[in-house]
Structure 1
Amino acid sequence: MQFPTLESLATRQVISLDEQASLAEALELMNTHAIRSLLVSCGKSYRLLQSKDLMAFHLQGINFNVPLTQVMLPRVLCLPPDSDLQEAIKLISLHQAEQVCLVDANDQICGIVTYTDLVQNLDPDTLAESQRLGDLLRGMLLLQVNKEMPVSLVLSLMQQQGVNTALVSEDRKPLGILTLSDVMRLLAKGQELSCRVDQVMSSPVDTLPEHFSVRQAVNAMREKSYKRLVVVNEDERVVGLISQQDLVSLYYSQWFTLIKKQQQELLEKNQSLEQKSLVCTQLLEELDYPVLLLTANGQLNQHNQATERIFAKEKLQPGTTLLELMQGNPSLANTQDFFSQIETGQAAKAEVMFKSAKGYYQAYQLTCRPLTRIGEGLMLLSFKPRQAIEALALK
């Protein structure tokens, strides 16, 4: 299993603004495109303006008519387009970010990968069907506020707790949700934030039952393009809030575990094959007559030193076919049946003449048989000198 490249997941349309633009212009652009972050172009580099930054600036009393150059903004997290998903997840998690930008060899932004892009490309089948939302959310903090509280106070609480969402509830039953996107729309309209939260919250609240599996939550979030969902128990009381970030973190944690397990299994198989190969090499060298080990398609896999008596060393390269080795041999025309049999994995015998390294011809009996216990499809081909066979028969 391989991780997909970021280029294959990225959103190509990247919204950006010049650093000379004002905070008010940035706010309007973000509301127009319904985005929570915006790239700020600073010459050849980029910085990131997020909705939480705008909320912080508002709480600090900063005039939104000031240019972006006068506020502190973090640099954009960047990776090359051919980076894989694992690199992005690690970088985003390390910096507690929500996106990473793709920068080509010319230092040009060519895409952006957000948690929304990651959720849309999840394969729910990788997730355990048995893992329930209620178990996942147990112990996780959730900001719940009273419906009469002013938006400004709720916003301060959100900033203090470092969250993007506040759940408006009564007796632990969800009434609505206030997000930073909601507050940004209020600011864009010039509304004061002293109004009650229940006057501006998003309501009613879409919920998921706590007995839903993580797989079902991923499907629900993908189908309706939700960034977050409230999880409730059988009494419709709040258990917690599940976000795209939570699901992505859980999903890729399980995926990485699966990849690690597969890599370990592959390593163990390779070690086993290497051990068998070493044993096979040692056995071949114990034989004083030429022996070749062939793959199922007739290519050379291994040979012993005695084989160099009849074949030039430079020809005995892995991947060389038996037919190529026997080119120029006077007996080649008489071995068609032999080749046909070994191509189908059958045992076969033939008598051939080979020119030795000293320049004279020697008769050999070719014997080929499959080695099913050593490796699938491997064939052992031996070249026994005819005189040795006759001497053995006399005994």
Structure 2
Amino acid sequence: MIPTVYDISITNVVSIGIEKTLDEAVDKLSKANLRTIVVENKKQNCFHILTTRELLQFKIENINKDTALYKLNIPKAKALDKNMNLLTVLNYIDFSDEYMVITHKDELLGIVSYTDIVNNIDPQLIMEKQTISSLIHQYKAITTNENSSTFEAISLLKDNSATDAILVLNKEYKPKGIFTTKDFIDVIRYDYDLSKPIKDYMTSPVDTLYDDTTISNAINFIKKKHYKRIVVVNKDGKISGVITQKELLRTFYNKWIELIKEEGSKISKTNEHLMQITSELETKVALDHLTKLYNRKKFDELLDSHIEEFSNLKDETFCMLILDIDDFKLLNDNHGHLFGDEVLKDISKILTTKSRGSDIVARWGGEEFVVILPKTNLEHATFFAEKIRQTIENFDFEKINKVTCSLGLAQFHNSDNKIELFKRADDALYRAKSLGKNRVELEHL
């Protein structure tokens, strides 16, 4: 028999009215030796949950302790009836619901965490409910345009030895076909013309799955079709990523094991819980809110790390790219800042999808992006930058015919420091702008 959510809930709950102050909430938590308090909003007939995560954030923001709780951004909690079984609950919640309240006839009975629910359900049930969207983000597709030459596609296969397939996209960024190592063998066998577009030799059409497909259905799809990999698209049919059956299963079970370990770690409650919260806050601090790319501060740290690493390598180097969207202020003025935000997010997706797993992509600020290309010389970095420029120029942005960008490139040399490297890339970007925009310019040593 599947247990109810009340069976696994914590019932020694401390609550406080939303009209009370932050100081009063902290005092209650301290006296009860707890880390979570339920905030009752009787006027709106709902509940909020205040955890140490929010308290840390309020401390960072220097929020006055006399501030009333209703003035603070405290997450609203989902309310679950005590008689709901865990399988029903799993259909009702997702990973974003860290804590939920247990109620019956509007009376507060307890709280339960997402981890508690997951750890009381068999993994097979999770596979039937969880979608591949939560797993696919780390598996980038290596892509090229359908009109790119076969030589360019073969070069991509060579430069990305970890993959055995190139996804071929149309100008709307939707999959049109796939070029695998098997297709490459045919190219060699029949001595095909490498200057012809890759669409002449790709396997087409390509079967895709939407990113809201469950893990279980995705695995069944692979088995039924006898495919090695899944091509995943979003609701608009645009590419999200590519994942193999092996990667799919490994990623899921790794995630499951992490959840089990997380539950076991509650033995040392206070310290480990605070460490987890701190780690999550560090991740938030490292990401740009709009694009979900690394922000400027995190990029600076990673650039320092790469300079330290490559300073000791004689035969290896890396390149840095700065990208600036052309006439972005005019775009905002004509179409509004919300549309400008969508353009920034689309370009972020292009950069992450086109880059390798080892590349570092970040938003530098405003309409500027930066990319670190490890183990890449200026020649190969130029090829990458030109592909980015062409992809953005050909991308179908809503409401506007075309968006272009200018790019500056610099290569790291052993005697470089961060300021010198960045200045050369920035100077190259300035030349690209001054020479007419929508172009790639290289450093001048």
**TM-score scaled by length of structure 2:** 0.29
Return the index of the structure with the highest Cα Rg.
1
Q: Normalized against structure 1, the TM-score is what?
A: 0.32
User: Which structure dedicates a bigger proportion of its chain to helix?
Assistant: 2
